[in-house]
Amino acid sequence: MHSIPIIEPIQQLFEQYNIPYAMEQDWLVPYQDFTQYPAIRALWFPYTVNGCLQIEVLHHDSELMIECFAGIGEDNDAITDALQNFCLNSFHVFAVAFWDLPQGDQVTIEQWEIQGVTYQAYLGAMGTRLMSNDEFPTLPENWFDSFSSEIQKESNLDTLAWFRLFIGNNQGDLTVEVLRNNDVCEEIQKVMRELDWITLDGYYSIRHFMILKAQ
């Protein structure tokens, strides 16, 4: 599928948070130093209606992190919608973990011990969508404790790891997806699916993103 680089909105985002950068084709290189700071680019995949924003964060060792966001609407409206989702769900996690942005209230930093290795955990805020006139449904009690507990049982984690949880209800059809380093993590996904998520008419979703860095 043909993709379109989205450059100017990412530049504006970096300028808003006073993160200097240089351009290498369609990649932004923070602080003009790729050996120390992962580069980022955004690609837009348009559909007939709606589309998908793919955020790629590239490390000097060729480690590629990918986050995807649906954009609802037509043309620029869909792009704007997807960019807002990126800003609410993942941008601050990347920026605090990699680009020296102060922690603020969008990211929680914790120390996790996993298989004898200490990780700095950068935990993003929960992103939500609701497309109905109803109130947002009550989520399962301690859903995040279940999610984080399962991650802390993981073995063979690299020195850098990232996890993304997505729960979506569409007209009573429930989607549960857990990604570890861009790939489906079936074990944690199974645990999260077994929680008591509410299904209803209409649409709602939650999304959570985190980065783990070994100390």
Query: For residue range 21-48, what is the model confidence (pLDDT) as tens digits?
Result: 999 999 999 999 999 999 999 999 998 7
Burial of 153 (0-12, 13-18, 19+ CB in 10 A): exposed
Rounded to whole angstroms, the Cα distance separating 91 from 84 reads 10
What lies within 8 Å, CB to CB, of 193 at 6+ separation is: 174, 176
Q: Are 108 and 123 in contact (CB under 8 A)?
A: yes
Which CATH number applies to 4-98: 1.10.3470, 3.30.160, 3.30.200, 3.40.50? Answer: 3.30.160
The two tokens of residue 83 are 């960019």
Domain residue spans in the chain? Answer: 4-98, 107-214
Rounded to whole angstroms, the Cα distance separating 34 from 7 reads 18
Ordered DSSP codes for 28-60: EEETT-TTTS-EEEEEEEE-SSSEEEEEEEE-T
SS3 for 82-119 is HHHHHHHHHHHHHHHHHCCCCCCCCEEEEEEEECCEEE
* pLDDT tens for the 215 residues of the chain, in order: 688 999 999 999 999 999 999 999 999 999 999 999 999 999 999 987 889 999 999 999 989 999 999 998 887 889 999 999 999 999 999 999 999 999 988 999 999 999 999 999 999 999 999 987 778 999 999 999 999 999 999 988 999 999 999 999 999 999 999 999 999 999 999 999 999 999 998 899 999 999 999 99
Instruction: Flag whether the pTM goes above 0.85.
Output: yes
Rounded to whole angstroms, the Cα distance separating 35 from 50 reads 36
Burial of 1 (0-12, 13-18, 19+ CB in 10 A): exposed
Question: Which of 40, 37, 38 has its CA nearest to residue 25?
Answer: 40
- Which one-letter DSSP state was computed for residue 136? P
